[in-house]
Amino acid sequence: MKKSKKSFADLPPIRVRREPPTIVEAVTAAQDLSDDLEQQIEIAAGLIGLPAEEVRPHVVAALRAKPERVPERIIAQAGPSRAPRTVIVERRTRPPVIVERRGRPLDPRR
């Protein structure tokens, strides 16, 4: 039994679900994109679709709650098996190919 071919006209339209981000998600994204408070407010307001005055208290409250990031340090003891390896990449150049062009083929009888 062969399957019938369906065209795009026979299929129902694709429905896209649009959910604006929550205030917490928008503020977190704005903090990651910018360090300036005013820019964070503008970014969060643009993501949610609310005026900046409504978003400002949430951004300011999140600014106080956000701890300072301490850079992580990974310390590992380097033994003989964990010694850093050196990789050397060399590019080899090929000699140029010389092609001689001749006007006529050589006569083997001569």
Helix, strand, or coil here: 26?
helix
Give residue-wise pLDDT tens across range 5-46.
667 777 788 888 888 889 999 999 999 898 899 999 999 999
pLDDT digits (tens, 9 = 90+) for 77-104: 555 666 666 666 666 677 777 776 666 6
d(CA 4, CA 69) in angstroms, rounded, equals 59
44 close to 23: Cβ distance less than 8 angstroms: yes
Which amino acid does the sequence have at 14? I
